[in-house]
Amino acid sequence: MDINKNVFVEKRELIHKGSILDYYKDTMRFSNGNTQCWDYIDHKPVVSVLPVDEDGNIICVRQYRHAIDKSSLEIPAGGIGDDNNPLTGALRELREETGYICDEKDAKHLIDIYTSVGYTNEMVYIYECKVSKKTNASLDDNEFVTVEKYSPMQLYEMIIKGEIQDAKTVSAVMTYIAGMHQ
């Protein structure tokens, strides 16, 4: 049975148009004739990068996140950019948030994730890169971050203890560690 034939969008109503996401109320119709309203968030694509330094440490950023009202330890991330190229966007975010630079030849695709498939189409394209040098970060006016370095196993322990809960960071670190053991 093709489950996709059991549900379709009957009506989509834009509730709010934002700078990075649009919020909709969708009226869903099911094959049994029932209808139900579902929330839907259309989110612009995001890029993220797991930067690894010459000592094998992963470079993270700690920043305040309003949605959870606390700081969060994460890998660098941001909007995909005007060129719609995930890799160049990831390398741009790395440089802007940390000051570290990675040559495209030293970067590779790690994993792509949907952050929460229950209500949003937000896709995060995640790359791993070997950083080569450091310059000055160029944060946006509303970005206040600290740069921190951890070994992969330190990050793993922080994930297990619930100290890191950011989905892109958890996914990237666990995928990276799994690749180290292949």
| pLDDT for res 77 | 95
- Whether 17 and 80 map to the same domain: the answer is no
Strands 77-79 and 46-52 come out as antiparallel
Q: What's the rounded Cα separation, in Å, for the pair 76 and 166?
A: 11
- Whether 103 and 166 map to the same domain: the answer is yes
- Whether 51 and 28 map to the same domain: the answer is no
CB atoms within 10 A of CB 33: 6
- Whether 31 and 50 map to the same domain: the answer is no
Quickly list H helices, the chain.
86-98, 152-160, 167-180
Going by the DSSP 8-state scheme, the letter that residue 75 receives in this structure is -
The pLDDT of residue 177 is above 70: yes
Q: What is the CATH number of the domain that holds 148?
A: 3.90.79.10
- Whether 133 and 163 map to the same domain: the answer is yes
| pLDDT for res 179 | 86
Residue pLDDT, tens place only, 57-96: 999 999 999 999 999 999 999 999 889 999 999 999 999 9
Of 122, 125, 141, nearest to 43 (Cα)?
A: 122
| pLDDT for res 132 | 80
- Whether 174 and 91 map to the same domain: the answer is yes
* Residue carrying the six token digits 């989110």: 43
Of 83, 36, 51, 32, nearest to 172 (Cα)?
A: 51
| pLDDT for res 145 | 83
Helix (H, G, I), strand (E, B) or coil at 182: coil
- Whether 148 and 108 map to the same domain: the answer is yes
Q: Give Cβ neighbours of residue 144 (< 8 Å, ≥ 6 apart).
A: 63, 64
| pLDDT for res 127 | 97
Residue pLDDT, tens place only, 130-160: 998 777 666 666 767 899 999 999 999 999 9
Task: Give the number of domains in the chain.
Answer: 2
CA-CA-CA-CA torsion sign (157, 75, 171, 73):
positive
- Whether 110 and 90 map to the same domain: the answer is yes
| pLDDT for res 182 | 64
The pLDDT of residue 44 is above 70: yes
Helix (H, G, I), strand (E, B) or coil at 53: coil
Q: List residues bridging with 111 in a β-sheet.
A: 126
Range(s) of the domain holding residue 72: 46-180
- Whether 173 and 122 map to the same domain: the answer is yes
- Kindly report the pTM of this predicted structure: 0.89
